[in-house]
Structure formats: C-alpha cells, structure tokens
Amino acid sequence: MRIWKKLILYFLLTVTSLILFFPIIYAFMISFMTGGEILSGKLLPSTFSLDNYVKVFDRLPLFNYLINSFVVSIGVMIGQLVVCSLAAYAFVFISFKGRDFIFFLFISTMMIPWEATMIPNFFTIQKLDWINTYQGMTLPFFALAFGTFLLRQHFKTIPKELHEASQIAGLSKFGFFFRVVLPVSKTSLVTLGAYGFLTTWNMYLWPLLVTTNNSVRTVQIGLKQLQSQEVSTEWGVVMAGVIVVIIPTLLLLFLGQKQLQKGLTQGALK
C-alpha cells in the first residue's frame, strides 16, 4: 500500500513539475529553432545550433546589460543587508521611547504599493541629478520593511543573557553587532540577500524610468528592445536572449534554495 502511495505521489510530482517547467523548457527548445520550425509548431529543433545565441549578442549589447544588472542587483543586495540589519538591531537591542510604535509604523509601509511612491522617488532622483547613474537605480531600494521584519524576528531569538554578557565583557554596541549578532544570523542574511538580488534582477519599470541610454540599462530593458526588433520574425533569437538572462537567477535559486526556504520559515515562525 505504501509503495502505491509513493508511486502516485511521485507521478503527481512529475506531472506538476512538467506543467510548471514547460514554459522554460519550451523557450529553451525554441532558442535552437529556425523561424520556419517555430511557425510550423515543432516542439523539438532539428539541430541544436547556437546561431540564435550568436545573433543575440551581435544585435544587442547584452554583455554590457548583464554587467549592469549584476552591479545594480549586488548593490541593492548589499545596501539592503546593511540598512535592514542595522535597523533590526536597533529595534531589538537598543531601548528608546516609542520603539514599538516606530517599528509598526515602519512595517505598515509594506501596505503601500511601490507604484504609489515611484513618482516622488523619480523627482528626488532627478533633483539629485542621478538619472543614468547606478546610485539612482539602487539607493531607493535600500530601506526594505520586509527585510527589517525578517531580521528582527531572528534577532529576537538571540538570548538577552548573551547581550548582557557582552556588555559586562566591555563590547560596544557595534562590537556586539559585528562579532555576535551577524555571525549567528547567517541564514536570515543569506535569505534576504537572495531575495533582494532576485527581485532587483527582474525589475523592469524603475530602470526604464531612470535611464535614457544604454550605459547603465539592465537586461530586462534589453529583452524588451530585442522583442520589439524581432517580433514576428525571429523568436528564436528572442528566446535565446531570455535563456541567457534567466540562467543567473536559476543558478542562484538552485544553489540557495535550502537557505532561502529555511530563512523564510524562520521569519514566519519566530
């Protein structure tokens, strides 16, 4: 009976996995097809030629876009880790008047959609003359309410006795933060870092709004340019660009899957 249950379970898992991954698998197959094969509705290419991948790098500065996306994503990731960890530390280990009220007020900003703050942020970046700059694309995302909440939940699990012992040992507030709090919070920090990198990598509207040339534009805008150029002609080239763009995010997701799941579960339960 147990064997039948396992067989049914694995069958259902296989079917649902194929349904979920079919768009990516089909896009991967299309990236090797010619225009005629795509229009005829074939599921598999006749040959696995790399012509479409060569064309996508010839027609767009895709390598430059990839570097820009890495710089912006890593910049936002580091900024969020620094700002959110310091804010969470203050909300847990530093006593000041109205601390809980300020924290809940800060967390309530999660209810405000990003689109509602986009125009004020754009005018601020424009006033600072940060259009077409990396700082203009990264700084508005450093203060993340979700990240602060996630780290605060983990910091609260650190025993107060450890904090008192560090004070008796003469550690400063920053010493306790760097030498005790951060080392025991690696899982939550990795989770927040992966979350920040992935969301920034897939961002489209903000980079489009604050850039006017290709010097700092990211891959998502590049894909849109490619689609506009190749629509109804060579979808194989467009899909080759899509596969190149999603490879870094898939690698990060597969490598950090356990840490990401563990960190999000900790934040939900504690």
Give the tens place of pLDDT for each residue, 74-101: 999 999 999 999 999 999 998 888 898 9
Six token digits for residue 237: 């080239």
For residues 226 and 220, give the distance between their C-alpha atoms in angstroms, rounded to a whole number. Answer: 10
For residues 217 and 228, give the distance between their C-alpha atoms in angstroms, rounded to a whole number. Answer: 16
Each residue's pLDDT tens digit, 116-169: 888 889 999 999 999 999 999 999 999 889 999 989 988 998 888 888 888 888
Sequence-separated (6 or more) residues with CB below 8 Å from residue 44: 29
Per-residue pLDDT band for 266 (boundaries 50, 70, 90) equals low
**Coil, helix or strand at residue 156:** coil
pLDDT of residue 227: 73
Percent of the chain with pLDDT over 70: 94
238 and 59 Cβ atoms separated by less than 8 Å: no
Choose the weakest-confidence range: 13-17, 83-87, 217-221, 233-237: 233-237
For residues 204 and 188, give the distance between their C-alpha atoms in angstroms, rounded to a whole number. Answer: 26
Nearest one of 176, 229, 189, 207 to 55, comparing CA atoms: 229
- pLDDT higher than threshold 60 for residue 269: no
For residues 51 and 45, give the distance between their C-alpha atoms in angstroms, rounded to a whole number. Answer: 13
Treating both helix axes as pointing N-terminal to C-terminal, what angle do 145-155 and 99-107 enclose, rounded to 10 degrees? 130
For residues 51 and 93, give the distance between their C-alpha atoms in angstroms, rounded to a whole number. Answer: 58
In terms of pLDDT, which residue wins out, 40 or 228? 40
- pLDDT higher than threshold 90 for residue 36: no
Per-residue pLDDT band for 1 (boundaries 50, 70, 90) equals low
